[in-house]
Amino acid sequence: MSDVLLQMLEAGTTSLPNLLLQHYRQIGLLDEEMMIIIHLLAFKSEGKPFPTMHELEERLSTEASVVIKRIQRLVQQGYISIEETVDPSTRVRSEWYCFTPLHKKVIACLEGKVISEDIPDAARTSGSVKNLYAMFEEEFGRPLSPIECENLAMWIDQDGYSEALIIAALREAVISGKLFFRYIDRILFEWHRNNIRTPKQAREYSLKFRKHQQRSGQTLPQGLSTAAASGALPQEFPFYNWLEEETDS
């Protein structure tokens, strides 16, 4: 017993700000992401400021590929950053996780600069909370490829689409039975081209096209027409073949 107690004492402790635990959901962090941050802080206290994915996987009940995606989101959304240090004597470069951006988000939250409307719906939903990558993988029924993960990141970082709008486009693709990234990308492009910025605007825009199809006598694809007639097709996400939409020259 004394040996076990000695090991516990020598293992040290992990310092975790209570304010972070109290407000991490208000700044948009998911439970799974907060657990990763806790382990990163633990590794830092152990003298490992940049643990490997294998080391993180050993402590989490999550595969390394999922851990990578979650850390990518933490970096992309500005919760943590990866910094580089050069040893002046050996010129050896080393990387480490910086938590200053996370602390700044907590401070901004306490100062009232973060409002609930700014936090993506996926991060506010209670119960089985899923991040954007997990939602796509659930709908696709498989892990996303590296290229697909890069597409998701580009939609947010380069194209500036909100997570809520991306989720709306995913739902529309599911309803349309065209579950592939090119189709979802075209939906987002058309919405952006027509100044659609929110899921509400997207619903109204799609509804307008459905009414236009009904007036012009166009029909839904076989299979979806039966679902629409029976009421199984949600009104808020009507079918529209975005790949056949003509673009301005």
Point out the residues of the chain with pLDDT beneath 70. Answer: 1-12, 113-130, 146, 209-249
Asked, for residue 1, whether it belongs to a domain, the answer is no
Q: What integer pLDDT is reported at residue 53 of this predicted model?
A: 87
pLDDT computed for residue 6 by the predictor? 55
Are residues 197 and 159 part of one domain?
yes
Query: Residue 73's closest CA among 128, 120, 18?
Result: 120
Residues 129 and 61 in one domain: no
Query: Could you list the residue range(s) of the whole structural domain that residue 178 is in?
Result: 125-214
What's the confidence (pLDDT) of residue 198?
86
What pLDDT was estimated at residue 247?
A: 40
Residue 103 in any domain: the answer is yes
The pLDDT value given to residue 214 = 59
CATH of residue 168: 1.10.10.630
**What is the total count of domains within the chain?**
2
Q: Say if CB 112 and CB 143 are below 8 A apart.
A: no
The answer for residues whose C-beta is within 8 angstroms of residue 136's C-beta and 6 or more apart is: 144, 148, 152, 170
Residue 224, in any domain of the structure: no
Q: What is the pLDDT of residue 50?
A: 93
- pTM of full prediction above 0.75: no
Q: What pLDDT is attached to residue 16?
A: 81
CATH number at residue 42: 1.10.10.10
Phi, psi of 212 (to 5 degrees): -65, -40
